[in-house]
């Protein structure tokens, strides 16, 4: 059997990783400014993280959600504390798309309605409702097509207000990324976030914040929406949550009642995934990674601003988008092949994304800057 060929692959086979370094099968060393797609939060193979998972595996890796799992309670308690959402409840699942799918279901179940406002340039995942909320018709199969998702222009508050009231009768919720990720690190305006919050509260419409890419300290706050002094009803997380171990989470306001059988999953919140996620939260807290991400992000942006031929830089913390006047893939290819640096791409071909582990060092950031400078001087 061969693999179902759905990914355009870089010609590199990564076999080992430590903190912010990767090695291929030939022993060539790379710097990871991609974080395996914003997933590696606390650094590859962090000894505390590895120890926790190994230790858990020796006890029990998995049992069903039909019995008590104290690790889920520990995870919920620690997540509540660090994110300042202690009064919310947690539903655990396995991926970002699944977290959004469940968030949309909660909003729809409770409101009894089925329409959502979403935004142009957004990405919310590849499952049925999540992909319908995503602004990329090329990944929406006919079976996923629905008129339940209304796309609003990014940061257009007037249009948002108009669409909100035009659809109010059927409107279950509004879903927005804390900071748009695949869309090229687009930051929502304070005005838009305040308006979403205000209209949702006043009209009993659910405000869903997708923090799958922008959450877990990556933006320099625990959740990116915390820059805007708003409190969504439902918050979704995944990626950095267990540093690569598959897990997703839905934080649900305590105003929203749970009902047995409303949601469910076989694997979600299993013992091993919880051990990995608890280890991540302990490392974020012990190593002060929210503040680290903020300070390192400021340093990188300041240095990037000094490079000629960089057209625009957007970002918060270690979630950074860089626009060039040439295709970013041209720059990334040279960075990878000649300077042994991995970076991310975005839906706009002119945009590069930087999403390194939050443990990246200052010398490693300096190496990225000097390498990028050399690449831009050479093309």
Ligand X SMILES: Cc1ncc(COP(=O)(O)O)c(C=O)c1O
The yes or no reply on residue 35 touching ligand X (CB under 6 A) is no
CA-closest candidate to residue 227, choices 261, 263, 189? 189
Name the minimum Å distance from CB 134 to ligand X: 8
Toward ligand X, which CB reaches closer, 176 or 368? 176
Q: What are the CA-CA distances from residue 98 to residues 22, 124, 179, 292, 311 (Å)? A: 29, 10, 19, 29, 36
Q: Is the dihedral of CA 189, 193, 195, 196 positive or negative?
A: positive
Closer CB to ligand X, residue 103 or residue 274?
Answer: 103
What mask, x for binding ligand X by CB under 6 A, covers residues 250 to 289?
----------------------------------------
Measured from the CB of residue 293, what is the shortest distance to ligand X in angstroms?
17
- What secondary structure, in 3-state letters, does 95-130 show? CHHHHHHHHHHHHHHHHCCCEEEEECCCCCCCCHHH
The region of 83-91, 120-128, 199-207, 322-330 touching ligand X under the rule CB under 6 A is 120-128
Stretch that binds ligand X, among 25-33, 52-60, 61-69, 174-182 (CB under 6 A): 174-182
Q: Per rule CB under 6 A, is residue 181 in the interface with ligand X? A: yes
Q: From the list 44, 46, 113, 124, which residue makes contact with ligand X (rule: CB under 6 A)?
A: 124
101-104: long-range contacts at Cβ-Cβ below 8 A with a sequence spacing of 24 or more? 101/125, 101/127, 101/128, 101/129, 101/130, 102/236, 102/250, 102/263, 103/175, 103/208, 103/210, 103/234, 103/236, 103/250, 104/129, 104/130, 104/133, 104/172, 104/173, 104/175, 104/208
Q: Which of 135, 177, 292, 364 binds ligand X (CB under 6 A)?
A: 177
Q: Does 249 bind ligand X (CB under 6 A)?
A: no
Stretch that binds ligand X, among 17-25, 122-130, 296-304, 351-359 (CB under 6 A): 122-130
Question: Mask 74-103, x = binds ligand X (CB under 6 A)?
Answer: ---------------------xxx--x---
Provide the minimum distance between the beta carbon of 273 and ligand X in the complex, in angstroms, as a whole number: 13
CA-CA distance, 5 to 39, in Å (whole number)?
A: 22
- DSSP, res 181: T
Nearest residue to ligand X, scored by beta-carbon proximity: 96
Binder among 132, 133, 212, 275 for ligand X (CB under 6 A): 212
CB-nearer residue toward ligand X: 208 or 372? 208
Alpha carbon separation from 109 to 56, 103, 112, 199, 228 (Å, rounded): 36, 10, 5, 20, 28
By C-beta, is 135 or 364 nearer to ligand X? 135
Stretch that binds ligand X, among 76-84, 159-167, 176-184, 324-332 (CB under 6 A): 176-184
Question: Who's near 306: CB < 8 A, 6+ residues apart?
Answer: none
* CB of residue 308 to ligand X, shortest distance in Å: 31
For ligand X, give the closer residue by CB, 79 or 97. 97
Tell me how far apart the alpha carbons of residues 272 and 57 are, in angstroms, rounded to a whole number.
Answer: 7
Q: Is 364 in the site for ligand X (CB under 6 A)?
A: no
Chain CA centroid to CA 356, Å: 13
Residue 72 found at the interface with ligand X (CB under 6 A): no
List 92, 163, 234, 238, residue binding ligand X (CB under 6 A): 238
Contact status: 233 vs ligand X (CB under 6 A): no
Residue 292 interacts with ligand X (CB under 6 A)? no
Per CB under 6 A, 297 contacts ligand X: no
Rule CB under 6 A: is residue 132 a binding residue for ligand X?
no
Question: What tokens appear for 99 in the block?
Answer: 């977290």
- Contact window for ligand X (CB under 6 A) among 177-185, 197-205, 258-266, 360-368: 177-185
CA neighbor of 237 nearest in space, from 201, 284, 190: 284
Q: DSSP letters of 216-239? A: TTTTSSSSGGGGTT---SEEEE-G
Binding site for ligand X (CB under 6 A): 95-97, 100, 123-125, 177, 181-182, 210, 212-213, 238
């Amino acid at each position: 059997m061969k693999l179902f060929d759905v990914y355009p692959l870089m010609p590199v086979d990564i076999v080992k990783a430590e903190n912010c370094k990767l090695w291929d099968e030939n022993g060539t060393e790379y710097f990871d400014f991609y974080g395996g797609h914003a997933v590696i939060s606390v650094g590859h193979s962090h000894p505390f993280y590895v120890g926790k998972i190994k230790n858990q595996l020796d006890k029990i890796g998995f049992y069903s959600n039909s019995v008590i799992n104290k690790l889920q309670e520990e995870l919920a308690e620690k997540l509540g504390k660090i994110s300042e959402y202690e009064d919310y409840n947690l539903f655990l699942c396995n991926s970002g798309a699944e977290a959004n799918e469940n968030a949309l279901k909660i909003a729809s179940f409770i409101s009894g309605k089925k329409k959502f406002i979403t935004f142009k340039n957004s990405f919310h995942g590849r499952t049925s409702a999540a992909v319908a909320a995503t602004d990329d018709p090329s990944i929406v199969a006919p079976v996923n097509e629905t008129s339940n998702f209304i796309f609003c222009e990014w940061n257009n508050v007037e249009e948002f207000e108009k669409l909100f009231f035009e659809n109010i009768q059927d409107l279950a919720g509004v879903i927005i990324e804390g900071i748009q990720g695949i869309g090229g690190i687009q930051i929502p305006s304070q005005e838009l976030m305040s308006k979403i919050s205000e209209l949702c509260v006043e009209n009993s419409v659910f405000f869903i914040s997708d923090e799958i890419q922008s959450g877990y300290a990556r933006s320099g706050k625990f959740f990116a929406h915390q820059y805007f002094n708003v409190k969504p009803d439902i918050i979704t997380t995944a990626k950095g949550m267990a540093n690569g171990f598959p897990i997703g989470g839905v934080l649900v306001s305590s105003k929203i009642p749970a009902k047995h059988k409303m949601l469910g999953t076989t694997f979600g919140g299993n013992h091993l995934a919880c051990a990995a996620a608890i280890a991540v939260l302990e490392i974020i807290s012990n190593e002060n990674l929210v503040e680290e991400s903020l300070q390192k992000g400021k340093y990188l942006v300041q240095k990037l601003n000094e490079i000629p031929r960089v057209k625009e830089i957007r970002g918060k913390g270690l979630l950074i988008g860089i626009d060039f006047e040439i295709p970013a893939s041209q720059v990334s290819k040279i960075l990878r092949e000649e300077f042994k640096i991995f970076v991310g791409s975005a839906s706009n071909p002119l945009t590069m994304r930087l999403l390194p582990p939050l443990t990246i060092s200052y010398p490693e950031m300096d190496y990225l800057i000097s390498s990028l400078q050399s690449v831009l001087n050479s093309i």
